[in-house]
Structure formats: structure tokens, C-alpha cells
């Protein structure tokens, strides 16, 4: 499925070197594509987050037991993967349920994913990414994501995405440091949409058995894609972390406007028990230059199950969660109900696609972290999650 590593031909160097850099970008990106990771290396750093607001507080076990959430994955669950390209170590990726919090009238899972190339591969093409998401514990929808990506030696992007479930609009604010501009986009995401974060967990809660298949609508890169997941069978594997395990073999691929795409095709081996942890991933994809990148493998090398001392309420059964609406150029075509139309009228919500220059402000956030844009980069009204 889509992954926010853009694939553009390097502007400098000879053709062979350009192809090598392209393969480097693709090798690391494809592994995370196949893994359903929006971006993923080492985990959430201390208590320093891209997504943080005054008034955010951690939920206690007693609160969660008194009102069991629908979100089934425990606080502290962490998955770490070693990524290889034709057997050569490339880097590491990780995804973690860092904390469960309350903010305003929502209870949220704060998920953190990181991706980082190793020293050897970074000399060819560096990837150093961090992404975070707030997933509603009760409605199982993504509310907001924040991503800070550094690719190569120059490209640096900070992006926040807000999912407004009262209007079914997604709003994207992307600040590109290397270009000195912000790109603002807003559009109707259709009857339902996953983000690349919550779809990782949604797939794990599907009734996976050989012969099962499902289609899920997923937002990525300013479009809504379809993600097709097919269960091909069962297979025994030996995991360096879990030993010999029984797995289900999944074949995922994405579609756009109803047409199958090559990007992200591969296989995922997930535990056949209730945990459904991905233990091995292989794949390939086509870049924008029609250059096929293959030989990618990611293997689970670290697993922390986390802890949960409260029950889980049933997951929502809304059929729109496994139905991809018709679309044109990645924008859903459907008839919104009257309540959504009224909410849009009341809030003056309309499609948007604008670019404007910015000055990247001085260092913010964690000690030792690179500079990030502040709310001043984004026009008023785009920096707090909506209900």
C-alpha cells in the first residue's frame, strides 16, 4: 500500500548512480509498504511527541476498565523489524502503542512509528522518519497524524493530517523545508477511510482464515486508495524472536479508482493466533520511473506484547469499513447524507488545494531533535483535531 517515500529521480550524478539511489529509496520504502507502516527504527523517544497538546493526559487502568475501549491492542505493544534488500541490511522499522490518552472529549491511542536506514545505506540514501497518530479508542478512527521525514541530504518535510468526522473531510498541511513552502489540501474522504496507521491494526482484527478477502479504503498521499487483503493459506515459520510459529500468509495489494496497482504487492506472514503479529514481510513495487524494485524482506526482530488489565468491547461492524467507494483520481464519488452536508454548510467546509511560502522557524520540541515547524506555519484552524 502507499508509503510516503516519494520516488523521484535524483537530479545529480550519472544514470547508474541515480538508479542505485532510486533502488535504495525503494528498498527501504517497499518493506514498510508491505508492513502497512506509515513510516517506521527505534521507538517513541522518552516522553517527547510530535502530537502533544496542552490538556492531554494519560488514561489510567481503572478508567479503561470502567469503560472498556473497542481498541484491542495494549499500551506498550511494540513491533521491531530488520529490513534487508537482497540480503543486505538496510535499516530498522518499528511501530508502538506508546500511550493511551484523553484529550478534550476523546480517548485516544497514541501510536508512534519510526524508520531509519543504517550507516551503510545512509551513505547512499538516508531515511530518518518519525510518524505519530491519534486513534480514537471507541470509534476506531484516526483523528490526527503528524509526520517528520528526512530523506537524502536535503529533503525534509513536516506534515499534519486532520480527519474531521463531522464533515468527512481530510485536511492536510505539509511544510517542505527544502522548498520553503506549505501545501494545504482538503477534500471529502467518502463514507469511511482508514489511515495507514489504523489500517495496520484493523487488518489484524479481521476474521483472517484461508480464502478470506477484504477491501479497505485507505488515505495516503492526498488520495483514497483501496487495499485488498487476501489470505492465501497457512505456513510454519521459524522466527528469531518467537521460535517456530504457525502463520497465515496474506497477499495485500492496492487499487486506485478501481484499478489494481503494482505498488506494495508482496506477502505478509502473520501469527495464526489472536495476536496476528506480522513476523515476516516480502515485497516489491514499481517506482514512478517504471523501475521495478524487489528483493525486499523485513523480519520481526523485537516484540513486546504490552500490558492490558481491562476488557475490550466489540469492534464496530459498519459495512463501510470494508467497502471502497468509487473514485476519480483518488477522490471518492458518493452522495453524502444530509447531516454531513449541513455540517459542511455550517462550518464553511469546501475542497482546497493551496501552496504558499513559509519560513521554517527555529528549533522546537525535543532536546536533540531537529527543528520542526510550529503552528505559525499553518493558518488558523488547522492545528487542533476536530470532533
**Tens-digit pLDDT profile for residues 15-32:** 433 444 444 444 444 444
- Assess contact for 32 and 115: CB atoms under 8 A: yes
Q: DSSP string covering 127-174, please?
A: EEEEEEEEEETTT--EEEEEEEEEETTTEEEEEEEEEETTTTEEEEEE
The answer to whether position 382 is within a domain reads no
Average the pLDDT over 282-295 and give the result.
56
Q: Give the C-alpha separation, 249 to 271, whole Å.
A: 9
Asked whether residue 2 is assigned to any structural domain, the reply reads no
**What is the distance between the alpha carbons of residues 173 and 293, in angstroms, rounded to a whole number?**
30
**Helix (H, G, I), strand (E, B), or coil: what is residue 59?**
coil
Q: How confident is the model at residue 220 (pLDDT cuts 50, 70, 90)?
A: very high
Q: Report yes or no on 348 lying in a domain.
A: yes
User: Does residue 358 sit within a domain?
Assistant: yes
Q: Return the pLDDT at 40.
A: 37
Which of 93-107, 305-319, 346-360 has maximum average pLDDT? Answer: 93-107
- 285, part of any domain: yes
In this structure, what C-alpha cell is assigned to residue 150? 528526512
pLDDT tier, 295 (very low <50, low <70, confident <90, very high otherwise):
confident
pLDDT at 290 over 60: no
Going by C-alpha positions, the residue among 203, 223, 336 that lies closest to residue 271 is 203
Q: How distant, in Å, are the alpha carbons of 59, 80, 88, 204, 345 from that of 127?
A: 33, 16, 16, 27, 42
Q: Domain for residue 320, yes or no? A: yes
Q: Read off the pLDDT of residues 145-183 as tens digits, 9 standing for 90 and up.
A: 999 999 998 899 999 999 999 999 999 999 998 888 999
Closest CA to 73 of 227, 205, 250, 219: 205
pLDDT of residue 360: 62
Indicate the pTM of the whole model: 0.84
Cell numbers of 51, please? 502530537
* Model confidence band, residue 58 (pLDDT cutoffs 50, 70, 90): very high
The whole-number pLDDT of residue 244 equals: 97
Reported as a single tens digit per residue, the pLDDT across 314-325 is 777 889 999 999
**C-alpha cell belonging to residue 195:** 489511515
Angle at alpha carbon of residue 195, lines to 381 and 182, rounded to 5°: 40
What is the domain range of residue 25?
Answer: 15-377
Q: How does DSSP assign 217-282, residue by residue?
A: EEEETTEEEEEEEEEEEEEEEEETTTEEEEEEEEEEEEEETTEE--TT-EEEEEESSTT--EEEEE
Question: What's the pLDDT tens digit per position in 223-245?
Answer: 999 999 999 999 999 999 999 99
Is the pLDDT confidence value at 250 over 50? Answer: yes
Total structural domains within the chain:
1
Does residue 326 carry a pLDDT above 80?
A: yes
Q: Is residue 95 part of a domain?
A: yes
353: Cβ contacts below 8 Å, ≥ 6 apart:
184, 185, 186
Grid cell of 44 as nine digits: 517513541
Assess if residue 384 is contained within a domain: no
Amino acid at each position: 500500500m502507499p508509503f510516503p517515500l516519494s520516488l523521484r529521480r535524483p537530479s545529480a550524478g550519472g544514470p547508474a548512480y541515480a538508479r542505485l539511489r532510486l533502488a535504495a529509496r525503494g528498498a527501504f520504502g517497499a518493506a514498510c509498504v508491505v508492513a502497512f507502516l506509515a513510516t517506521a527504527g527505534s521507538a517513541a523517544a522518552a516522553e517527547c511527541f510530535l502530537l502533544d497538546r496542552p490538556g492531554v493526559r494519560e488514561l489510567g487502568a481503572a478508567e479503561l476498565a470502567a469503560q472498556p475501549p473497542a481498541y484491542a491492542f495494549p499500551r506498550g505493544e511494540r513491533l521491531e523489524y530488520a529490513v534487508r534488500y537482497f540480503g543486505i541490511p538496510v535499516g530498522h522499522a518499528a511501530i508502538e502503542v506508546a500511550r493511551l490518552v484523553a484529550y478534550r472529549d476523546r480517548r485516544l491511542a497514541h501510536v508512534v512509528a519510526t524508520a531509519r536506514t543504517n550507516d551503510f545505506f545512509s551513505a547512499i540514501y538516508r531515511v530518518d522518519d518519525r510518524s505519530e497518530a491519534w486513534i480514537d479508542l471507541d470509534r476506531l478512527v484516526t483523528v490526527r497524524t503528524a509526520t517528520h521525514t528526512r530523506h537524502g541530504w536535503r529533503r525534509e518535510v513536516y506534515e499534519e493530517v486532520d480527519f474531521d468526522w463531522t464533515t468527512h473531510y481530510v485536511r492536510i498541511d505539509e511544510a517542505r523545508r527544502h522548498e520553503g513552502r506549505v501545501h494545504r489540501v482538503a477534500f471529502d474522504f467518502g463514507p469511511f477511510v482508514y489511515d495507514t496507521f489504523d489500517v495496520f491494526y484493523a487488518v489484524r482484527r479481521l476474521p483472517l482464515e484461508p480464502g478470506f478477502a477484504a477491501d479497505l479504503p485507505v488515505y495516503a498521499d492526498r488520495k483514497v486508495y483501496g487495499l485488498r487483503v487476501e489470505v492465501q493459506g497457512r505456513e510454519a515459520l521459524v522466527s528469531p524472536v518467537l521460535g517456530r510459529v504457525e502463520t497465515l500468509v496474506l497477499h495485500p495489494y492496492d487499487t486506485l479508482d478501481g484499478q489494481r496497482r503494482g505498488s506494495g504487492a508482496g506477502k505478509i506472514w502473520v501469527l495464526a493466533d489472536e495476536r496476528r503479529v506480522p513476523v515476516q514481510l516480502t515485497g516489491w513495487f514499481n517506482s514512478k520511473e517504471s523501475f521495478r524494485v524487489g528483493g525486499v524482506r523485513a523480519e520481526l526482530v523485537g516484540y513486546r506484547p504490552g500490558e492490558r488489565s481491562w476488557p475490550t468491547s466489540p469492534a464496530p461492524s459498519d459495512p463501510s469499513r470494508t467497502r471502497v467507494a468509487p473514485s476519480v483520481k483518488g477522490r471518492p464519488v458518493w452522495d453524502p447524507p444530509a447531516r454531513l452536508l449541513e455540517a459542511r454548510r455550517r462550518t464553511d467546509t469546501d475542497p482546497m488545494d493551496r501552496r504558499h511560502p513559509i519560513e521554517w522557524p527555529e528549533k522546537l520540541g525535543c532536546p536533540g531533535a531537529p527543528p520542526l515547524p510550529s503552528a505559525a506555519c499553518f493558518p488558523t484552524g488547522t492545528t487542533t483535531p476536530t470532533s
